[in-house]
C-alpha cells in the first residue's frame, strides 16, 4: 500500500516531466510554422493563382529582363566582393603593415550602413553637380558634355553599391579561415619553393574556399533581396518587379509568381554554399598545429598593402558617410518630423527582435533534442532568411486579405513584427547556437550523473551558458530589423513611417538633403554594435594567437 501511494504521488511529477519533454519538439514545430508560414503562403498563392492577362504581359515583355538583370547584378557583385574582401582578409591576417590593427576591425564598419543609404550618397557624389565631376571640370576646364563619366544608375553601379555594403560578410569568413591556416602547411609550401603569390593562390584560397563562399552566398542573398538601392538607381531587378506588380498594378498574385523566381535564386545560393562546405578545403592533418605568424614585407610592399586596405574602406564607408554628414551640416540637421519615425523604428525593431529572439531560442533548443527537430528548425529558419522581405510581406498581405483585417489598422503592425521575426530569426539563431556549443560536455555529463533530467539540464546548465550569446543575438536582430525597408513599405499602417521609409521617400522625391538625417540615424544605430562586434572578434583573434 505504501509503495502504491508513493507511485501515485510520484506519477503527477513524472507525467509533468514527460509532458515537458514531449513538448520540446512541439515548440520547435510551432516556431517553424510561425517562421515559414508567410513564405509558404506567398509561394502557394503564386502557384495556384497569378495567371491571366497581367501575368502573360509580364512574361512576354519583362520577365526575361528582370531575371537577367538580377543575375547580372549578382555576378558583378560577387566579383567585386571577392576583390574587396579576400585580399584585405589575407593581408590583415598574415602580414604586418602600417595600420593593420585598425583595418582589422574597421573593414567591418560598412555593415552598419544599408545598401540604399550608400546608393543615396554615391549617387550624389557621382552626380553632374557632385564633388567628383565638379573637381574634374574645374581641373580640366571641360564642360559636362565634353567627357564621359560612369553612371551609378546602372547594373554595374548597383553592383558596386551592394559590394561596398556587403563585402564584410565575406571578409569576416575569409579572415577567420586565413587566421586558422596551419603553420605546418604554410612552411611545407614554402620549403617546396612556393612564392607568396603561389602560396596565396594554391594553398590559402583552396583551404579557405568553403568559408569564403559561405560569406559570399550570404551577401548575394541580401543583394537579391534588395529593393531600396535597386529602386533608387532605376535597375529593374526581380525585387523591383515584385513591388511594382503589387503597388503599381495591384496584382499581388502576379507579384507572388515573380517572388517564386526570387526564392529559387536564394535557395540555389544556399544549396551552392552547402555543397561548397561539404566539399571542404585542404585538411589540416598535422598534429602540431599552430597559427602562422604574420609576415614582414618590404617597405614599399607594406605601404602598398596599406593603400589597398585604405581604398576599400574609403569607398565602402568613409566617402559615402562623410558626404551624408556634409550634406546634413550644409542644409541643417533640424528636421522636426524626424522624431516620430525614430520612435516608430525603435518600437518596431524592439518588438520584432524580441519575437525573433524567442523563435531563435526555440529553434536552437529544439535542435539539441533530436535530429528531426534540428532539421525542421534549420529548414524553416533558412527559408525565412532566404526569402526577401518583399516576399514575406506578400504572404502577410494575403493573410490580411483572407482574415479581413485592415492594412491601416493595428493588425498591420502585428503582422509587420511577425514578418520581421520570420525574416531574421536565423540571424539570431547563429550566435545562440554558437553559445550553446561552447558549453563543456562535462557539465552536462556531471548533471546527468547527479540525476538531472534533460529539462533540468537545459534550464540549469545549457541556458545559463547560452546567455553569453544572448546579447550578440539581440543586437544583431535589432540592427537588421532597423534597416529593413521593403516589408515595412508594404505593411506599415498610415502615419507609421520608420527611418528607412522616410529616407526612401525623401530620396525618391529627389530631396536627398532631407533624406540624410534619417539615413545617418540608421547608420549610427548600426555603428555601435558593429564596432563592438569588430573589437570582440579582434580580441578573440589576439587571444587565439597568444594561446
Provide the sign of the torsion angle of the four alpha carbons 384, 109, 152, 121, taken in this order. Answer: positive
340 CA to centre of own chain: 27
Nearest alpha-carbon partner for 528 in 474, 470, 479, 468: 479
Identify the pLDDT of residue 436: 66
Interior CA angle at 82 toward 81 and 86, to 5°?
Answer: 120
Q: How confident is the model at residue 451 (pLDDT cuts 50, 70, 90)?
A: low
Who has greater pLDDT, 194 or 504?
A: 504
Res. 434: pLDDT tops 70? no
End-to-end Cα spacing for the chain: 63
Identify the pLDDT of residue 10: 44
Query: 199-215: b or e for each residue (b if 16 or more CB lie within 10 Å)?
Result: bbeebbbebbbbbbbbb
| Cα–Cα dist 243/50, whole Å | 15
Identify the pLDDT of residue 71: 94
In tens, the pLDDT along 121-136 reads 999 999 888 888 888 8
CA dihedral 23, 29, 32, 33 (to 10 degrees): -120
Secondary structure percentages of the chain, helix, strand, coil, to 5: 80, 0, 20
CATH class for the region spanning 65-288+299-333: mainly alpha
In tens, the pLDDT along 28-58 reads 788 888 888 888 888 787 777 666 677 787 8
One of 3.30.930.10, 1.20.140.10, 1.10.3720.10, 1.20.1630.10 is the CATH number of 27-61+336-508, namely: 1.10.3720.10
Interior CA angle at 299 toward 297 and 300, to 5°?
Answer: 100
What are phi and psi for residue 295, nearest 5 degrees? -85, 150
What are the CA-CA distances from residue 370 to residues 13, 64, 366 (Å)? 23, 44, 7
CB atoms within 10 A of CB 22: 9
Res. 462: pLDDT tops 70? no
Q: Look up the pTM and report it.
A: 0.81
Most distant CA pair in the chain, distance: 107
Identify the pLDDT of residue 547: 53
Q: How many CA atoms lie within 13 A of 254 on its CB side?
A: 21
Residues of the chain with CATH 1.10.3720.10: 27-61+336-508, 65-288+299-333
Phi-psi region of 288 (alpha: psi -120 to 50; beta: other; left: phi over 0): beta
Who has greater pLDDT, 3 or 202?
A: 202
Inter-axis angle of helices 389-403 and 410-437, to 10 degrees?
130
Res. 395: pLDDT tops 50? yes
Average pLDDT over residues 342-370: 82
The percentage of residues in the chain with a pLDDT greater than 70, rounded to a whole number, is: 71
Nearest alpha-carbon partner for 99 in 316, 312, 321, 315: 312
Query: Do residues 518 and 506 touch, judged by C-beta distance below 8 A?
Result: yes
435 CA to centre of own chain: 19
CB atoms within 10 A of CB 239: 28
Identify the pLDDT of residue 6: 37
Nearest alpha-carbon partner for 63 in 245, 227, 247, 252: 245
In tens, the pLDDT along 464-497 reads 666 655 666 677 778 888 888 888 888 888 778 8
| pLDDT, averaged across the chain | 78
In tens, the pLDDT along 148-174 reads 888 899 999 999 999 999 998 889 888
Amino acid at each position: 500500500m505504501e509503495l502504491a501511494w508513493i507511485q501515485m504521488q510520484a506519477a503527477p511529477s513524472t507525467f509533468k516531466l514527460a509532458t515537458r519533454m514531449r513538448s520540446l519538439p512541439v515548440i520547435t514545430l510551432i516556431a517553424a510554422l510561425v517562421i515559414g508560414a508567410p513564405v509558404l503562403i506567398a509561394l502557394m498563392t503564386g502557384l495556384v493563382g497569378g495567371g491571366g492577362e497581367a501575368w502573360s504581359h509580364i512574361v512576354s515583355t519583362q520577365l526575361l529582363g528582370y531575371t537577367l538583370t538580377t543575375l547580372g547584378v549578382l555576378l558583378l557583385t560577387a566579383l567585386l566582393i571577392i576583390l574587396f574582401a579576400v585580399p584585405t582578409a589575407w593581408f590583415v591576417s598574415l602580414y604586418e603593415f602600417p595600420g593593420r590593427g585598425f583595418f582589422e576591425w574597421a573593414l567591418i564598419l560598412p555593415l552598419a550602413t544599408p545598401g540604399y543609404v550608400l546608393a543615396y550618397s554615391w549617387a550624389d557624389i557621382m552626380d553632374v553637380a557632385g564633388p567628383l565631376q565638379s573637381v574634374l571640370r574645374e581641373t580640366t576646364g571641360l564642360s559636362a558634355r565634353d567627357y564621359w563619366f560612369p553612371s551609378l544608375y546602372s547594373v554595374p553601379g548597383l553592383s558596386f553599391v551592394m559590394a561596398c555594403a556587403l563585402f564584410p560578410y565575406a571578409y569576416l569568413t575569409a579572415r577567420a579561415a586565413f587566421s586558422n591556416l596551419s603553420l605546418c602547411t604554410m612552411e611545407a609550401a614554402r620549403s617546396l619553393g612556393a612564392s607568396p603569390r603561389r602560396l596565396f593562390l594554391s594553398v590559402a584560397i583552396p583551404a579557405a574556399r568553403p568559408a569564403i563562399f559561405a560569406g559570399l552566398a550570404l551577401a548575394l542573398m541580401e543583394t537579391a533581396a534588395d529593393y531600396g538601392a535597386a529602386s533608387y538607381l532605376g535597375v529593374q531587378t526581380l525585387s523591383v518587379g515584385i513591388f511594382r506588380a503589387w503597388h503599381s498594378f495591384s496584382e499581388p498574385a502576379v507579384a507572388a509568381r515573380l517572388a517564386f523566381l526570387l526564392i529559387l535564386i536564394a535557395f540555389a545560393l544556399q544549396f551552392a554554399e552547402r555543397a561548397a562546405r561539404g566539399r571542404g578545403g585542404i585538411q589540416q592533418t598535422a598534429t602540431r598545429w599552430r597559427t602562422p605568424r604574420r609576415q614582414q614585407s618590404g617597405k614599399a610592399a607594406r605601404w602598398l598593402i596599406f593603400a589597398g586596405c585604405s581604398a576599400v574602406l574609403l569607398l565602402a564607408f568613409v566617402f559615402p558617410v562623410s558626404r551624408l554628414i556634409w550634406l546634413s551640416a550644409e542644409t541643417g540637421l533640424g528636421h522636426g518630423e524626424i522624431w516620430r519615425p525614430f520612435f516608430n523604428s525603435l518600437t518596431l525593431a524592439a518588438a520584432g527582435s524580441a519575437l525573433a529572439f524567442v523563435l531563435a531560442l526555440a529553434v536552437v533548443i529544439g535542435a539539441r533534442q533530436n535530429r528531426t527537430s534540428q532539421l525542421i528548425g534549420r529548414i524553416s529558419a533558412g527559408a525565412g532568411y532566404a526569402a526577401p522581405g518583399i516576399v514575406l510581406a506578400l504572404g502577410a498581405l494575403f493573410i490580411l486579405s483572407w482574415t479581413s483585417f485592415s492594412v491601416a489598422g493595428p493588425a498591420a503592425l502585428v503582422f509587420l513584427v511577425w514578418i520581421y521575426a520570420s525574416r531574421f530569426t536565423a540571424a539570431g539563431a547563429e550566435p545562440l547556437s554558437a553559445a550553446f556549443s561552447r558549453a563543456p560536455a562535462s557539465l552536462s555529463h556531471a548533471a546527468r550523473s547527479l540525476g538531472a533530467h534533460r529539462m533540468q539540464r537545459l534550464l540549469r546548465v545549457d541556458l545559463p551558458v547560452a546567455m553569453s550569446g544572448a546579447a550578440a543575438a539581440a543586437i544583431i536582430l535589432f540592427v537588421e530589423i532597423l534597416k529593413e525597408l521593403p516589408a515595412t513599405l508594404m505593411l506599415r499602417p498610415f502615419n507609421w513611417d520608420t527611418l528607412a521609409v522616410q529616407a526612401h521617400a525623401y530620396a525618391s522625391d529627389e530631396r536627398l538633403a532631407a533624406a540624410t538625417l534619417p539615413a545617418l540615424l540608421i547608420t549610427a544605430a548600426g555603428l555601435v554594435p558593429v564596432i563592438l562586434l569588430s573589437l570582440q572578434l579582434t580580441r578573440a583573434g589576439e587571444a587565439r594567437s597568444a594561446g
